A and B are shown apart, each in its own frame.
Chain A
């Protein structure tokens, strides 16, 4: 098995694992972090598929901006759930 193929298999497994975990985790914050991890791994996968354009967009928009928005939404939800001091 060449190192490239081994890396690709590892990457595919990590992608599926992080996607499953992000969907099944009960804790919202953890799910968002897993989603960001998934986005970064996906960017790596696009780079491996020699599509650097999509890799750049995925890393910046898919992982970075969407992650920041989702984290912000989780913060809003937590602030709402806590009773006002």
Chain B
């Protein structure tokens, strides 16, 4: 307890001692917003100025999912456990609404807080909810369509990056097409992130039954 308090004090002291940053990133971002193709600074940084980070992040997420899939054992589709009728009715009602919310978050990402990760998380939550209500079977062996969906986001991202590389620098979009390209990438990302995150849950549940 005493050590923890000491550590907290030392960390607080270190933070207060930090020197002033030499480069002011917010002003740089604000200065380059015109070329980014979107109007929300967070989306501009995530998908344009620092596109590398997001690309690698999605790759890591996919790798984590491969690990989970390699560890799951069952070969056959495990039927969902039946749930309460009221829960099923509610899930049926909520799932389309959640897909709608995900689409809205994806679209609004260009102008306001939102974007691919949030939309994907809402999609994944819808998947988990359907699974808990017993409406969705667990994934034992993802089929071809599912696999395509899982890697679609990363593939779209890599293809766009390669095309941009052909014209100069990796992940530097021409500013006239940047908005369209970002929306395209984000759509693929939201789909893949939603599938991957819900897959983490749907894959790990099958061993119980």
Q: Is B205 an interface residue (CB 8 A)?
A: yes
Contact B201 A72 (CB under 8 A): yes
Given contacts A72-B201, A72-B205, A79-B208, contact A64 B118 (CB under 8 A): no
Report the separation of the CA atoms of residues A68 and B105 in the bound assembly, to the nearest whole angstrom. 22
Question: A54 CB to closest chain B CB, in angstroms?
Answer: 9
A residues in contact with B207, CB < 8 Å: 76
We find that the number of chain A residues with CB closer than 8 angstroms to chain B is: 14
A residues in contact with B153, CB < 8 Å: none
Contact B113 A72 (CB under 8 A): no
Q: Is A65 an interface residue (CB 8 A)?
A: yes
User: How many residue pairs bridge A and B at CB < 8 Å?
Assistant: 45
Contact B204 A69 (CB under 8 A): yes
Given contacts A53-B42, A53-B115, A56-B113, contact A65 B121 (CB under 8 A): yes
For residue B113, which residue of chain A has the nearest CB?
A52
| Chain A interface main SS type | helix
| Chain B interface main SS type | helix
Q: 22 A-B Cβ contacts within 8 A?
A: A53-B114, A53-B115, A53-B118, A56-B105, A56-B114, A57-B121, A60-B122, A60-B124, A61-B117, A61-B121, A61-B197, A65-B121, A65-B124, A65-B197, A65-B201, A68-B128, A68-B132, A68-B201, A69-B200, A72-B201, A72-B204, A75-B208
Closest 8 CB pairs of A and B: A60-B121, A52-B113, A56-B118, A53-B113, A53-B42, A61-B121, A68-B128, A64-B125
B interface residues, Cβ below 8 angstroms from A: 42, 105, 113-115, 117-118, 121-122, 124-125, 128, 132, 197, 200-201, 204-205, 207-208
A interface residues, Cβ below 8 angstroms from B: 52-53, 56-57, 60-61, 64-65, 68-69, 72, 75-76, 79
